[in-house]
Structure 1
């Protein structure tokens, strides 16, 4: 039986749809841990668990999810290590921000440290989980990487600015300008099936930051934390927060990219 040959336009459209489906599948699989976090936040907000505080239950569930992801091979040991690093980075930032009154965790919990529930670090670690997963699944690489000195110094300055802007002027706009300069030539290379694509790294920063902002709206809606102006009535988180997540994503990418680079060099030497 003869196969029907599709016209050129239809064949191209079918290929585009197939590529999009494959891309969407890998994106969804890379978001398993973030989805687990927001699913847990949503369910725990409407279901009262007996004999345990909500924040403590969330921590136990997320630790279980991480264990299962590792045991099933969805995450590697190296990726778990990266997630732990981000958990610590995020937790330190959370403790500081709580002390400065930027937001609050009003519910009780046994696993709160300086007013911050330990599960909160996983919200930062989920960004690392996504980065590691999508990097591996789409066989990502970069061209025009500025190197550890430039990227690392910029990343440290961005992280430090999250702390210092409470006492000295906020340099985030200057830092964004430096991001454009430092990463101007950097491109992400990613592969979907047998096709290779490229994207400016700064565009990827913005897109991920935007989707984290959407997730932040979901999290505050389900009382994961509250900003001071949300204590009485919930409303959409300020769009200006996208810039904060934009900068946080840069720190995430710098750390993940550098660790991937070190690992690749180690394999080459072996």
Structure 2
């Protein structure tokens, strides 16, 4: 693509911006490979699986098929070297912590998985853990594709403390105070001065890291709306018919995404930009 697109991109500044924006979108889509395939499978099985099952053409329950399909995707990503083994190990950790939370939350009635299946733990289908793995896979892949570097990154240990507290709060708020407001404030204090430097094409760009976190949480929430519309899981408020997931869930996804991000830093250590590549003091006004 670059062989024919580059001369066009160099004809004018507008063409260059359009070319860079296209590359940015393509890299984002490529990083979302795992999540995109899983979402397509959830929607596709919602549309066609019942008819297959009734006609005798579906030997598996839909949830069990999704588990096996997710496992096949993960194996393919590793076999094709689209994902590294150390990344997969961290993603597997997020899969486990996500599944543990799913078991706890469904036991407390936070949401339900209404369909039958054999590959379940305490009523939670195992494909649910892969939905968390999709988030980790995206973060690990986009980090490499965009060559993430950071300006004014906080001490690593502070981000781990925040991530652990965020995860624990998903459990403890059922029995005591909900500290998520404090967690949001702590994340703003830690990352408020941090900028992520990324390279869609040849020139490094940058944006506030908190803005990036918020955008990722927003797209996860949109994907969740599509997942509940496809009947993969349901909230109590959707028992009598589908409607959009409450925007209040954005905060929960923000904290879960933050946990996944901090886990990925175990294999992708946050590093500053090379000396002279970008100034140490970002200009005001967002992406540059």
Q: Secondary structure of the residue that 1:261 maps to in structure 2?
A: coil
Q: Could you say which residue in structure 1 is the equivalent of 2:18? A: 17
2:180 aligned with 1:179, yes or no?
no
Q: Secondary structure of the residue that 1:81 maps to in structure 2?
A: helix
Alpha-carbon separation, structure 1, partners of 2:87 and 2:183: 28
Alpha-carbon separation, structure 1, partners of 2:221 and 2:159: 24
Q: Quick check: 1:141–1:190 contact (8 Å CA) kept in 2?
A: yes
Q: Secondary structure of the residue that 1:188 maps to in structure 2?
A: strand
| Structure-to-structure mapping, 1:211-226, within 5 angstroms | 211-226=219-234
Q: Could you state the TM-score of these two structures normalised by the residue count of structure 2?
A: 0.85
Give, in angstroms, the shift of residue 35 of structure 1.
Answer: 0.8
The unaligned stretches of length 5 or more in structure 2 are 1-6, 272-288
Give, in angstroms, the shift of residue 215 of structure 1.
Answer: 0.3
Q: Could you say which residue in structure 1 is the equivalent of 2:276? A: none
Q: Could you say which residue in structure 1 is the equivalent of 2:278? A: none
Alpha-carbon separation, structure 1, partners of 2:246 and 2:128: 20
Q: Quick check: 2:87–2:264 contact (8 Å CA) kept in 1?
A: no
2:152 aligned with 1:151, yes or no?
no
| Structure with the bigger percentage of helix | 1
Q: Could you say which residue in structure 2 is the equivalent of 1:64? A: 72
Q: Quick check: 2:27–2:200 contact (8 Å CA) kept in 1?
A: no
Q: Secondary structure of the residue that 2:176 maps to in structure 1?
A: coil
Q: Could you state the TM-score of these two structures normalised by the residue count of structure 1?
A: 0.91
Q: Could you say which residue in structure 1 is the equivalent of 2:246? A: 238
Kindly tell me the number of residue pairs found equivalent between the two proteins.
257
Give, in angstroms, the shift of residue 196 of structure 1.
Answer: 0.4
| Structure-to-structure mapping, 1:1-270, within 5 angstroms | 11-48=12-49, 49=53, 50-261=58-269
Q: Could you say which residue in structure 2 is the equivalent of 1:267? A: none
Say what the alpha-carbon RMSD is for the aligned residues: 1.8
Alpha-carbon separation, structure 1, partners of 2:122 and 2:86: 29
Structure with bigger RCO (C-alpha 8 Å, 6+ apart)? 2
Alpha-carbon separation, structure 1, partners of 2:97 and 2:199: 30
Q: Quick check: 1:90–1:121 contact (8 Å CA) kept in 2?
A: yes
Q: Quick check: 1:139–1:191 contact (8 Å CA) kept in 2?
A: yes
